[in-house]
């Protein structure tokens, strides 16, 4: 009987108005005055995970953590990993090395103080580490993180490094990079790690992709989604472009049901336990 592969389930904890694609409509100077919905949405996720007896990793914004400290404490108390999504949800590509380092150091301190546990994982907003800013990996290691999940080996109009390794690899500075999961098919990498693709495409596509990675590659997948993706009642930004509105709002009402299927169809755990505990050994720079 083959061993069941445990995949890593991750949640990028940010609110709907902090999404990069909606940034032109929600200046950071206005964030304090916008009613937040993240607390309600994360609580829904925690209840869903508890029903399925599943643990996960919550890549949490420092900005959110400072305003909802009890939320971070509830995540930690239920046995989930508290990891960092940076402080202010600024793309790494839009920052200098000094500003980027200051942001991720600040976020780590906030999250460790609130959770009472070491914060070893980091994910860059919008997977904004690519060929033009590989220096960011040195900043992440310098800030004290053990692993990063900031590279997406796909072609996308906002992010992506398609020639990056598909599976975890160790950098020269000791940092472990855990790329978001892709499926290699027809000579290219296809997004298979969740996010908008999980909502925009039928669920059977995600199930087929993850199963293919587990079965054919014999590797664990790392999957992600956002709390706002379970919130069809969030305010709609009519001024956003048709493309942005399509990407952001399509199938919000179906996400929770799809997650229930996902949790039932595969085995899931925390990213640190799946990739940093020896269960999934880092590969060399393979594609």
Q: How far is CA 63 from CA 194, 224, 227, in A?
A: 24, 20, 15
Measured distance CA(170)–CA(147) in Å, rounded: 9
Measured distance CA(287)–CA(167) in Å, rounded: 7
- pLDDT tens track, the chain, 287 positions: 468 999 999 999 999 999 999 999 999 999 999 999 999 999 999 999 999 999 999 999 999 999 999 999 999 999 999 999 999 999 999 999 999 999 999 999 999 999 999 999 999 999 999 999 999 999 999 999 999 999 999 876 566 688 899 999 999 999 999 999 999 998 899 999 999 999 999 999 999 999 999 999 999 999 999 999 999 999 999 999 999 999 999 999 999 999 999 999 999 999 999 999 764 545 433 43
Domains and CATH numbers, the chain: 6-275 (3.20.20.370)
Element (H, E) at 59: strand 57-60
Q: How many residues does the chain have?
A: 287
CA nearest 176: which of 53, 280, 86, 90? 280
Span 233-272, pLDDT tens digits: 999 999 999 999 999 999 999 999 999 999 999 999 999 9
CA nearest 13: which of 77, 80, 79? 80
Helical spans, DSSP H, in the chain: 38-51, 62-67, 69-77, 97-115, 135-142, 196-200, 203-212, 242-249, 255-265, 271-275
Q: Which residues contact 219 (CB under 8 A, 6 or more apart)?
A: 5, 167, 213, 280
**Backbone CA torsion sign across 35, 48, 215, 179:** positive
């Amino acid at each position: 009987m083959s061993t069941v592969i445990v995949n890593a389930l991750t949640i990028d904890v940010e609110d709907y108005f902090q999404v990069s694609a909606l940034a032109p409509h929600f200046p950071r100077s206005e964030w304090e005055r916008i009613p937040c919905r993240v607390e309600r949405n994360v609580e829904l996720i925690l209840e869903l995970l508890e029903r399925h007896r599943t643990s996960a990793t919550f890549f949490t914004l420092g900005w959110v953590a400072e305003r909802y400290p009890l939320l971070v404490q509830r995540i930690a108390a239920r046995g989930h990993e508290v990891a960092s999504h940076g402080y202010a949800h600024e793309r790494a590509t839009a920052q200098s090395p000094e500003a980027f380092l200051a942001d991720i150091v600040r976020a780590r301190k906030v999250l460790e103080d609130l959770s009472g546990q070491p914060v070893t994982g980091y994910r860059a907003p919008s997977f904004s580490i690519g060929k033009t800013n590989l220096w960011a990996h040195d900043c992440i290691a310098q800030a004290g993180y053990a692993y990063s999940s900031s590279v997406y080996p796909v072609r996308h109009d906002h992010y992506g490094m398609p020639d990056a390794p598909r599976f975890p690899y160790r950098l020269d500075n000791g940092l472990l990079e855990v790329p978001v999961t892709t499926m290699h098919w027809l000579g290219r990498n296809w997004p298979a790690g969740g996010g908008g693709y999980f909502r925009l495409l039928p669920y059977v596509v995600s199930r087929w992709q993850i199963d293919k990675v587990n079965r054919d590659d014999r590797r664990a997948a790392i999957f992600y989604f956002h709390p706002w993706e379970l919130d069809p009642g969030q305010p709609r930004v009519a001024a956003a472009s048709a493309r942005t509105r399509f990407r952001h709002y399509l199938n919000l009402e179906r996400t929770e049901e799809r997650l229930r299927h996902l949790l039932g169809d595969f085995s899931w755990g925390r990213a640190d336990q799946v990739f940093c505990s020896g269960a999934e050994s880092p590969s060399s720079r393979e594609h």
